[in-house]
Amino acid sequence: MLYRSAQLDASSLTAAIKEYGIRTVINLRGEDTDDSYIAEPKASDEAAVKHIDFGLSSGDDLSDQQLD
């Protein structure tokens, strides 16, 4: 099952993980250093789910490496 959402704050992400049984969070914005980003992998870690940063651009094609 795959769910998509806007960026959630830490408490909303934790609630979604519990409600939907999420096992992996994939961040399509890419790694960052702002507070909203830092809260996401922390909430994922505290909920014992995998967190993956995979930055995408709506205007760029994926490379072969990204597709793999």
Q: Is the pLDDT of residue 62 over 90?
A: no
pTM assigned to the model: 0.79
pLDDT at 23: 97
Q: Is the pLDDT of residue 52 over 90?
A: yes
Closest CA to 32 of 12, 55, 6: 55
Residue 52 main-chain phi, psi, to 5 deg: -125, 130
Q: What is the pLDDT of residues 7-33, one digit of tens each?
A: 899 999 999 999 999 999 999 888 877
pLDDT at 57: 77
Residue 10 main-chain phi, psi, to 5 deg: -60, -45
pLDDT at 13: 94
